[in-house]
């Protein structure tokens, strides 16, 4: 696209589409929701390619490792980061809500609740069993990303263990070629992203109107403040300490990612954008980002646990139940456990939020009201989730660089 003879980048086009779509949605209202299917078609095209993309990126990421030891090192580091950032995220959500006290000034007059469907019976055994597929083709057809990820890891490790080097090279080259094709297809889909984003935003704002800003203003304001604190202090701090990138530059350079997450509310659909940003803006090799980012889309839910903490405090303040230190610690650890796993699908976190509220004996009616406006919160949860994946990927990449340099020095000294 060109304006005044100057070419406008795709990121700028998407940002403008997001703004214009929101404005037209507010001004025109309900008629814009009739065209929301156009944005859904674009989003479906992204989701269509997610399973093959996860397969090829995980497998090529693993097979590009020098050995299983380097893969294990990357896995341990990224998992440690995800656990740390998740615990901190919930603590931040609790702390910000306790300071601002949104529940003491909340007004629910005129708000309608939404019935929440889905099972709330989640056991440890069910969670771990659900990670492993009994039929990989059924897993792929159903789009179960967590099971796809586990299958891809197993295949990648199996390829590394192949004894016949000729066969191993053939298989690795085949997946590398398939990866080129998959990302070529993603590039085609991304060309239409301004159109898709425009209609997604117009649909959301046409459906909710100005109420998307006002009805849940106290809770939403508290939640987004906590998200900003997490982004600047935790993500910004991590990349600053490990890569020398200040928080403002991190936010600026990751703009292409958070514009997409705000628009799509899907961490899975944002995987290709996240990998692209990691490579082009932060110099992360795909052998690392192709493993850590899909993994993070299933295991790193910082934005979600910030919401859990904020909502628990919010509802407690509404009903006048005090929050003790013991309750805070329980919220942090239960949030971390409950958030792990999931499909990265827009709105899926509302059932887990209901489980959290029930676990602490708080009234669930307010969760129903939140569900009616979940899109407003989902923009923040997805954005934080994906920025957390990106920051962790940059962190692990820099640690790997230092480890490789250290090993090379040792080898040089030994020779």
Question: Are 379 and 262 in contact, with CB atoms under 8 Å apart?
Answer: yes
What is the spatial distance between Cα 414 and Cα 164, in angstroms, rounded to a whole number? 31
Q: What is the pLDDT of residue 214?
A: 57
- pLDDT at residue 110 in the model: 47
Q: pLDDT at position 266, please?
A: 78
**Contacts (Cβ under 8 Å, ≥6 apart) of 75:** 291
Q: Of the candidates 403, 396, 394, 404, which has an alpha carbon nearest to the alpha carbon of residue 282?
A: 394
User: Domain range for residue 339?
Assistant: 2-414
Does the predicted model carry a pTM greater than 0.85? no
**C-alpha to C-alpha distance for 167 and 362, rounded to whole angstroms:** 58
pLDDT at residue number 324? 83
- The string of DSSP letters for 4-60 reads TTEEPPHHHHHHHHHHHHHHHHHHH-HHHHTTHHHHHHHHHHHHHHHHHHHHHHHHH
pLDDT at 116: 46
- How far CA 207 is from CA of 33, 48, 63, 355, in Å, comes to 6, 26, 46, 27
pLDDT score at 211 = 58
* The pLDDT value given to residue 284: 92
Domain count along the chain: 1
The pLDDT of residue 274 is 92
Task: Kindly report the CATH number assigned to the domain that includes residue 255.
Answer: 1.10.3860.10
Q: Give the torsion sign (CA, 52, 182, 379, 23).
A: negative
Q: What is the pLDDT of residue 102?
A: 85
Supply 85's token pair: 């950032």
Residue 208 token pair? 């909710």
Give the gyration radius of the chain's Cα atoms.
22
Cα distance between residue 249 and residue 54, in whole Å: 28
The pLDDT, as a whole number, for residue 121 is 53
| Residue given tokens 């090829």 in the structure block | 56
Residue 149 is predicted with a pLDDT of: 80
Give average pLDDT by consecutive 10-residue segment, the chain, 415 residues.
60 79 86 86 80 82 72 87 91 92 68 48 66 88 79 89 90 90 82 84 76 69 94 94 92 90 81 91 89 84 90 85 83 75 49 74 72 77 92 93 83 73
CB atoms within 10 A of CB 71: 21
Q: Which two tokens stand for residue 268?
A: 């899975």
pLDDT recorded at residue 362: 79
Burial 201-217 (b: 16+ CB within 10 A, else e): bbbbbbbbeeebeebbb
């Amino acid at each position: 696209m060109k304006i005044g003879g100057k070419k406008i980048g795709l990121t700028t086009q998407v940002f403008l589409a997001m703004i214009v779509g929101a404005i037209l949605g507010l001004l025109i209202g309900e008629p814009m929701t009739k065209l929301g299917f156009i944005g859904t078609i674009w989003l479906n095209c992204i989701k269509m390619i997610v399973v093959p993309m996860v397969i090829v990126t995980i497998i090529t990421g693993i097979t590009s490792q020098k050995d299983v030891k380097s893969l294990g090192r990357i896995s341990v580091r990224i998992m440690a980061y995800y656990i740390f950032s998740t615990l901190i995220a919930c603590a931040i959500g609790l702390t910000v809500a306790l300071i601002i006290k949104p529940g003491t000034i909340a007004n629910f007059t005129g708000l309608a609740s939404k019935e929440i469907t889905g099972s709330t019976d989640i056991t440890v055994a069910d969670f771990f069993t659900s990670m492993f597929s009994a039929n990989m083709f059924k897993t792929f057809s159903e789009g179960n990303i967590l099971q796809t990820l586990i299958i891809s890891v197993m295949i990648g490790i199996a390829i590394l263990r192949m004894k016949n080097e000729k066969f191993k090279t053939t298989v690795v080259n085949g997946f590398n070629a398939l990866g080129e094709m998959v990302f070529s297809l993603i590039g085609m889909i991304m060309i239409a992203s301004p159109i898709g984003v425009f209609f997604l935003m117009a649909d959301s704002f046409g459906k909710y109107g100005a109420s998307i800003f006002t009805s849940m203003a106290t809770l939403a304001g508290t939640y987004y403040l906590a998200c900003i604190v997490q982004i600047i202090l935790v993500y910004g701090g991590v990349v600053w300490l490990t890569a020398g990138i200040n928080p403002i530059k991190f936010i600026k350079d990751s703009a292409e990612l958070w514009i997409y997450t705000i628009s799509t509310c899907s961490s899975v659909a944002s995987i290709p954008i996240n990998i692209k940003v990691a490579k082009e803006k932060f110099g992360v090799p795909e052998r690392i980002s192709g493993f850590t980012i899909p993994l993070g889309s299933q295991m790193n839910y910082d934005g979600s646990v910030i919401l859990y903490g904020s909502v628990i405090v919010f509802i407690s303040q509404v009903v006048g139940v005090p929050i003790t230190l013991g309750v805070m610690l329980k919220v942090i650890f239960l949030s971390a456990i409950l958030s792990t796993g999931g499909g990265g699908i827009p709105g899926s976190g509302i059932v887990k939020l209901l489980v959290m509220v029930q676990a602490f004996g708080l009234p669930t009616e307010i969760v129903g009201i939140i569900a009616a406006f979940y899109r407003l919160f989902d923009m923040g949860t997805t954005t934080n989730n994906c920025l957390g994946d990106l920051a962790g990927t940059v962190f692990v990449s820099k640690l790997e660089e230092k480890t490789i340099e250290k090993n090379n020095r040792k080898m040089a000294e030994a020779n």
